[in-house]
Amino acid sequence: MVKSINSTHIDIFFMLGTELLNQYAAGKRDFTSVDLSEVELAGANLKGVILDEASLDGANLNGVDLSQASLQNADLNGANLTNANLTGANLTGAILEGAILEGAILDSANLSQSELTIAKVIEADLSQADLSEANLSAANLDKANLSGVNARSSDLSSANLTGANLDEANLNGANLEGANLKGTILDENTEID
């Protein structure tokens, strides 16, 4: 059942996972401002879906295909995105605080100005991703692939970057105070000021 609440000119639609999947299968792609909190969508194919400003707080998105999806300013607080495919996804301004992104593929994803505080991004592929001005304080990026990432002016304070690959990464202006860089892979093209 889809319900609409209009509060201060913002429409919020509450939807069940099965309803979203049925509408997606019928060709609908825009689910802006939908509330999918705690939804179960593990393994779903949602390639190219638009979930801007959607609430996916605590959602189970384990193994979901969200490649080329738009999740701008979406709330993914505590969401499980283990092994999810977010290749080329736009997560600008998304809230991923405490989210689990272990083994996720975020190759060329835009995570600029996103909130990833205490997120678990263990062994995830963020190669060529845009993390500029993102907050990754206390995030666990153990063995993550951050090669070619743009993390300019990002907050990586107290982050765990043990064994992370930072080849050709741009870390200019990034806050690395208290970050664990043990075994981190850096090359002469990694930019740190």
Q: What is the pLDDT of residues 117-138, one digit of tens each?
A: 999 999 999 999 999 999 999 9
Beta-sheet strands, E only, within the chain: 3-7, 10-14, 34-35
CATH of residue 135's domain is 2.160.20.80
pLDDT tops 70 at residue 61? yes
- CA distances in angstroms from 75 to 12, 52, 57, 133, 190, listed in the order given: 13, 9, 6, 18, 31
- Spatial separation of the C-alpha atoms in residues 44 and 4, rounded to whole Å: 24
pLDDT at 2: 41
**How many C-alpha atoms does 36 have within 13 Å on its Cβ side?**
28
pLDDT at 3: 40
Spatial contact of 88 and 107, defined as CB atoms under 8 Å apart = yes
Q: pLDDT digits over 83-102, tens only?
A: 999 999 999 999 999 999 99
pLDDT tops 90 at residue 111? yes
pLDDT tops 60 at residue 16? yes
pLDDT tops 90 at residue 7? no
Confidence tier at 190 by pLDDT (50, 70, 90): confident
**Both structure tokens of 50:** 């638009």
pLDDT tops 60 at residue 10? no
User: Which one-letter DSSP state was computed for residue 120?
Assistant: B
Q: Which residue is associated with the tokens 């989210």?
A: 99
**How many C-alpha atoms does 73 have within 13 Å on its Cβ side?**
5
pLDDT at 187: 82
Q: Which residues pair with 34 in a beta bridge?
A: 13
Question: Which range marks the domain in which residue 69 is found?
Answer: 1-193
**46 CB contacts (<8 Å, ≥6 apart)?**
24, 64, 65, 66, 69
User: Which one-letter DSSP state was computed for residue 24?
Assistant: H
Sign of CA dihedral 130, 126, 120, 153: negative
DSSP assignment of 157-173: TT-B-TT-B-TT-B-TT
Confidence tier at 45 by pLDDT (50, 70, 90): very high
User: Which one-letter DSSP state was computed for residue 18?
Assistant: H
Q: How many domains does the chain have?
A: 1
